Amino acid sequence: MSFTTVTFIFVFFPISMALYYLVYFLEFKNKFKNLKKFRILDLTVIAISSIFYIWAIFDDIFRFYAYIFIVYLFGKIIEILKQKNKHLVVYEGERNKRISLAVPILALGVIFLVYTLVHFKYTGILARLYNFFFKSDIVAKNYIAPLGISFITFSAISYLVDIYRGDAKSGSLIDCALYLIFFPKVVSGPIVLWKDFSNQIDERKINIDLMTRGITKIMIGFSKKLILADTFGGLIATANGSIDIFTSWGVALLYMLQIYFDFSGYSDIVIGMSNMMGYSFFENFNFPYISLSITEFWRRWHISLGRWFREYIYFPLGGSRKGKKRSIINILIVFIITGVWHGAGWTYMLWGMINGICNAVERLVSKKNWYIKTPKFIKWLYAMSVTFFCWELFRFSDMTSFKNWIKIMFGVTTFDNIPYTWQYYFDRRIIFLAIIGIITSTVFGLPKIQNSYKKALEKKSLYIINQIIITAMFVISLLFMVNSNYSPFIYFQY
């Protein structure tokens, strides 16, 4: 079930929240103490989340329950072994090395999680690689990946590793289930770490400020998604076949805007819903299109994913502690994995490699005089140019489609008969919304504009005007939703 459907907005979400608030407030009544004792509120959220998940694919829920139970068992065993301080003795030359028994259990748990992800998502590409290198003709069976498997896998790894590191306790089976199946984030994140989520399970409190912030966030998210992202996506979906150069460049620009407003809008909706339920999650986007480097871009884009890779891949590999050369290798490894995680195709791998190489080169030249003195506009132009073309890699699932599109963009491929020119696709409405998209994704993120906006909201009259504008945008977004036949979130496929 998508968030941007009439059923979700007007049926599922209102009923779910009404039930959640009813149970939440009954817990504060002395005569309903058993509700808290038996975790009725959390069981209610798990039930709501299960219905949300079942709505998409009924059969997956039973596999998901088994998956949750296995993850919980691994976590509990790791915690017990750590508490009892059980060790293995490993012989290394003349010395004996003691290794916690929790280490092999953690390794088994991570292997299980990664195997599950690979089994459902990467069997096809692994078979193609095997056939290419060994001249074989293995035919891989295609599996339908469980909904949200990529994000669930990363959350589950966070659960096990945080327990092993002592950053959080394993909690109960209900805690583990609540964390993994929590319906706002289960499909496409953001990736909330277990150590951040577990601290809020017993401490969450619903108040007017948090609810107001949540509702505002949801309305902004819907406006980003339905007014901007879906409008751009609808045009992109139709601009195929024989097109002119201007259309190809325009479509590439719109895709750059679409993927930002689509995913940042989704993240805003998730964060807003979580706020309404008493949870506070970190922001997932911070105006990435004002970045002056690819390194900065990845500090601002999909922040939760970047944090996950730093915590569970980059730092365990040694981070920057083992010298510059090792640091560069670690960066490249992280970005190759990032590319593969997004999709089982060469375009995703190349996309990850380019971003990794740019990060590595920027690390090497960051303290050079010529780089420091380079005008900010040139740095921004470089970062956005790399991002612009990398998104085209991201847009196509195979290299042939990507190459064909690039040939059109640079005039290598031309068409004698073009049924619709750029004037047809880029009418006044599209141009107006594209300008709005460019301004709100760049200018609005500048520090001076942000500071002025925050100061303005301190005045009650301007705050009220701001809320009226956001509410009006939300109403308009609902009208767009009713009249549009394009609504899928891009990141649902990952």
Same-domain status, 90 and 231: no
Domain span including residue 376? 210-493
Backbone φ and ψ for 427, nearest 5 degrees, come out as -80, -175
Q: Give the per-residue pLDDT at 281.
A: 93
* Least confident stretch, 125-134, 352-361, 367-376, 468-477: 125-134
Residue with the bigger pLDDT between 326 and 265: it is 265
Stretch among 281-285, 328-332, 481-485 having the lowest mean pLDDT: 481-485
pLDDT digits (tens, 9 = 90+) for 408-441: 999 999 888 888 888 899 999 999 999 999 999 9
Whether the per-residue pLDDT at 33 is higher than 90: the answer is no
And the tokens for 31?
A: 């005569």
Top pLDDT among 486 and 373 is at 373
Q: Which is more confident, 33 or 264?
A: 264
Asked if 260 and 288 count as a contact pair (C-beta separation under 8 A), the reply is yes
For residue 102, the Cα-to-chain-centroid distance in whole angstroms is: 30
Which pLDDT value is given to residue 489? 59
**In terms of domains, do 353 and 283 share one?**
yes
Nearest Cα to 233, choosing from 254, 264, 214?
Answer: 254
Contact 346, 254 (CB under 8 A): no
User: DSSP letters of 163-225?
Assistant: HHHTSS----HHHHHHHHH-TTTTTT-----HHHHHHHHTT----HHHHHHHHHHHHHHHIII
Q: 139, 171, 203 — which closes off a domain? A: 203
Percent of the chain with pLDDT over 90: 65
DSSP secondary structure string for all residues of 115-170:
HHHHHHHTHHHHHHHHHHHHT----PPP--PPTTHHHHHHHHHHHHHHHHHTSS--
CB 97 within 8 A of CB 133: no
Query: Between 63 and 251, whose confidence is greater?
Result: 251
Three-class SS of residue 326? helix
Burial classification of residue 383, based on how many CB atoms lie within 10 Å of its CB (0-12 exposed, 13-18 middle, 19 or more buried): buried
470-493 pLDDT tens trace: 999 999 999 988 877 666 656 555
**pLDDT score, position 189:** 80
Q: Are 482 and 356 within one domain? A: yes
Evaluate whether residue 1 is within a structural domain. Answer: no
- Asked if residues 398 and 347 have their Cβ atoms less than 8 Å apart, the reply is yes
pLDDT digits (tens, 9 = 90+) for 163-202: 999 999 999 999 999 999 999 998 888 999 999 999 999 8
Residue 131 pLDDT grade (very low, low, confident, very high; cuts 50, 70, 90): confident
**Average pLDDT rounded to a whole number, residues 129-146:** 71
**Inside any domain, residue 159:** yes
Mean pLDDT over each residue of the chain, to the nearest integer: 89
pLDDT at 341 over 90: no
Lookup: tokens for 432: 């107006």
Looking at the structure, do residues 69 and 215 belong to the same domain, yes or no? no
| Among candidate residues 78, 87, 104, the one with its CA nearest the CA of residue 166 | 78
Q: Into how many domains does the chain fold?
A: 2
Q: What angle do CA 400, 402, 405 make, to 5 degrees?
A: 110
Alpha-carbon dihedral sign for residues 455, 461, 462, 468: positive
Q: How far apart are CA 306 and CA 284, in angstroms?
A: 10
Judged by average pLDDT, the poorest of 116-130, 260-274, 341-355, 442-456 is 116-130
d(CA 214, CA 205): 13
The Cα–Cα gap between 494 and 121 comes to 9
Query: 90 pairs with which residues across the strands?
Result: 97
Q: Which of 87, 119, 302, 342 is catalytic?
A: 342
Residues 220 and 313 in one domain: yes
Of 313, 347, 351, 350, the closest CA to residue 331 belongs to 313
Q: 447 versus 32: which is more confidently predicted?
A: 447
Distance CA 60, CA 57 (A): 6
Structural domain contains residue 359: yes
> Long-range pairs for 364-371 at CB < 8 Å and ≥24 separation?
364/324, 364/328, 366/295
- Taking the C-alpha atoms of residue 478 and residue 377, their distance in angstroms, rounded to an integer, is 37
Q: Is residue 462 pLDDT above 90, yes or no?
A: yes
Position 195 in a domain: yes
Tell whether the model's pLDDT for residue 407 goes beyond 90. Answer: yes
Within this chain, do residues 321 and 389 fall inside the same structural domain, yes or no? yes
Picking from 185, 203, 221, the residue at the C-terminal end of a domain is: 203
Structure tokens at 438: 């460019």
Residues 18 and 115 in one domain: yes
- Same domain flag for 242 and 169: no
Q: Residue 190 region, left (φ>0) first, then alpha (ψ -120 to 50), else beta?
A: beta
Taking a C-beta distance cutoff of 8 angstroms, is the pair 170, 176 a contact? Answer: yes
Residue 193: name the closest of 148, 160, 228, 231 by CA: 160
At residue 351 the predicted structure's pLDDT band, cuts being 50, 70 and 90, is: very high
Q: Same structural domain for residues 346 and 378? A: yes
Q: Does residue 119 carry a catalytic annotation? A: no
228 shares a domain with 196: no
What's the start-to-end Cα distance of the chain, in Å?
Answer: 16
Both 150 and 128 in a single domain?
A: yes
Non-local (6+) Cβ contacts of 129 within 8 A are: none
- Burial of residue 41 (number of CB atoms within 10 Å: 0-12, 13-18, 19+): buried
| Domain membership flag for residue 100 | yes
97 vs 182: CA distance, rounded Å = 41
Exposed (0-12), middle (13-18) or buried (19+): which is 214, by Cβ within 10 Å?
Answer: buried
Range 61-70 average pLDDT: 92
State whether 232 and 181 are in the same domain: no
Domain boundary at 140, 171, 203, which?
203
Nearest to 193 by CA among 306, 77, 65: 306
Local confidence band at 305 (pLDDT 50, 70, 90 cut-offs): very high
